[in-house]
Amino acid sequence: MHIHILGICGTFMGGVALLARTLGHQVSGSDANVYPPMSTQLEAAGIQLQQGYEPAHLQPAPDCVVVGNAMARGNPAVEYMLDRGMPYTSGPQWLTEQVLQGRWVLAVAGTHGKTSTASLLAWILEEAGMSPGFLIGGVPRNFGVSARLGESRFFVVEADEYDTAFFDKRSKFVHYRPRTLILNNIEFDHADIFDDLKMIQRQFHHLVRTVPGSGLIVTPSGAPAMDELLAMGCWTPVERFSAADDSAQWRSTAATPAGDAFDVWCEESFQGRAVWGLTGHHNVSNALAAIAAARHAGVPSRLAIRALTGFRNVKRRMELRGEAAGVRVYDDFAHHPTAIATTLRGLRAQVGSETRIFAVLEPRSNTMRMGVHAEQLPAALAAADQGIVYAPADLGWDASALFSPFGEKVRVFHSVAEILSFLSEETRTGDQVLIMSNGGFEGIHQRLLDMLQSSGELA
């Protein structure tokens, strides 16, 4: 069967493409934004990529068109597909019907931490010899791909609350019907499709309704928005986790200030000490959730804790892209104030108070471009010594006015070239540059490394 995917380079749809290819289908796809890491792994799998949404991409007609949620009426390929009556479906629906039926689905949902936690969970199951399938909204470095079928009945899926398609406005995750569900957190996000937090909670409630009574929901303690959600109705056992609350069933105690070693407790029973390569309070919480979910699937806690030692975080999650002239350059996907703040705190804990951190932010998500979280950004950047905000001409709010009270602590630039020039002049040996964006950011990471390398050689 020939499947053509519209929006194939999105993190979710790229995973769908890999699964379809593994199932033996001929797969092609179109997208307006083709860039690594998704484009490279798709090309490596022998999947044909086409730039843009030309009707010619659907000639000759494929057997089925899988439509990404970024597609809207008026898109040339969508209109061509509809006019000619081509068979079509959404990515989540295709995944459910072709892959998830009859499998033990472990879903990871929440505003933050989905990708890292899903990657942790898949790795724990892998180390336990369970060879899980997975579809994750990033590329876990332990696996090198964002999706695979696996060789067992277990399947880990990153469960996104964004809408499914232009013809199905339910959240993606209502399709998955998990037996094990991690609900990491809930905050207001995706302002382009949700009016308020209650609207988001309603969609999460629909997800909770699909978990069987013999399943398990893993969720943080001391989270009012989560408590409100579960109060709407819950028919499944719940286990709570926390890196700070002693009343939680799953909890941790820090063995090091940075969080790269911590002890795990379940009830009053010591489960073991985790020693791994990640830092930060948020990553410890993600690990607790993954350990609890893995136990529900049959992995003893001690094995899950041991697996953390070999875990390598997801690409674009505090990924060290390189070092030049003594300056370390990181890439991170953070694009919500809470994620920005926790990522910066994690880096600060890792490098200490004397090391300078330059935090470079591209407000690229629909919600960020609308300015919904703009007032929270100054506090989110507080842990950095120097904040740098990219404000293109079409940004929907006045970044210069917002950050002007902070003087030179936060600088606003209107082009990537200006940012690169500033960083190449101001950084020095020992500095850390954290670049945060959910897009390609005009290749700023490698461009900066190249500039620093050149300046170092000239010096």
Tens-place pLDDT, residues 292-305: 999 999 999 999 99
What pLDDT is recorded for position 195? 67
pLDDT at res. 210: 97
Averaged over 163-178, what is the pLDDT? 95
Contact 414, 392 (CB under 8 A): yes
Q: Indicate if the pLDDT at residue 457 is higher than 70.
A: no
Which domains are assigned to the chain? 2-92 (3.40.50.720), 102-310 (3.40.1190.10), 319-458 (3.90.190.20)
Per-residue model confidence as pLDDT tens digits over 227-238:
999 999 999 999
CA-nearest of 11, 34, 26, 155 to 91 is 11
pLDDT band at 458 (very low <50, low <70, confident <90, very high): very low
Q: What is the pLDDT of residue 262?
A: 93
pLDDT of residue 37: 66
C-alpha to C-alpha distances, 345 to 74, 274, 434, nearest whole angstrom: 43, 20, 12
- How confident is the model at residue 188, as a pLDDT? 67
- Do the beta carbons of residue 410 and residue 387 sit within 8 Å? yes
Residue 267 has pLDDT above 60, yes or no: yes
For residue range 34-57, list pLDDT tens digits in order: 766 677 878 888 898 999 999 999
Where does 243-316 show beta strands of DSSP type E? 250-254, 261-266, 269-275
Question: How far apart, in Å, are the Cα atoms of 385 and each of 121, 322, 409, 432?
Answer: 34, 20, 7, 10
Please report, as a single letter, which amino acid is at residue 10: G
pLDDT of residue 64: 97
Query: Could you tell me which residue, 240 or 223, shows the higher pLDDT?
Result: 240
Omega before 60 within 30 of 0, i.e. cis? yes
| pLDDT at 77 > cutoff 80 | yes
Percent of all residues in the chain with a pLDDT value above 70, rounded to a whole number? 96
Average pLDDT, the chain: 90
Residue 459 has pLDDT above 50, yes or no: no
pLDDT band for position 204 (50/70/90)?
very high
Predicted pLDDT at 191: 57
pLDDT digits (tens, 9 = 90+) for 423-450: 989 999 999 999 988 777 888 999 999 8
pLDDT band at 382 (very low <50, low <70, confident <90, very high): confident
Residue 114 has pLDDT above 60, yes or no: yes
First CA to last CA across the chain, in angstroms?
58
Average pLDDT of the residues in 185-213: 84
The whole-number average pLDDT for the span 217-231 is 93
Residue 398 confidence (pLDDT): 85
Burial class from Cβ neighbours inside 10 Å (0-12, 13-18, 19+) for residue 84 reads: exposed
Supply the pLDDT for residue 278.
Answer: 85
- For residue 171, CA distances in Å to 12, 14, 126, 175, 375 come to 13, 18, 28, 8, 27
Mean pLDDT value across residues 255-272: 90
pLDDT tops 50 at residue 189: yes
Q: With 0-12 CB in 10 A as exposed, 13-18 as middle and 19+ as buried, what is 445? A: buried
CB contact burial 152-166 (16+ within 10 A = b; e otherwise) = eebbbbbbbbbbbbb
Indicate whether 317 pLDDT > 80.
no
pTM: 0.78
Token reading at 255 = 């063995």
Whether the CB-CB separation of 350 and 321 falls below 8 Å is answered with no
Mean pLDDT, residues 58-77: 96
**Strand, coil or helix: what is 41?**
helix
Give the integer Cα–Cα distance in Å for 432 and 443. 18
Residue % of the chain over a pLDDT of 90: 59
Residues 6+ apart with CB under 8 A from 362: 390, 435, 436, 437, 439, 441
**Residue 142 exposed, middle or buried by CB count within 10 Å (0-12, 13-18, 19+):** middle
Which is more confidently placed, 389 or 11?
Answer: 389
Q: Phi-psi region for residue 309, left (φ > 0), alpha (ψ -120 to 50) or beta?
A: alpha
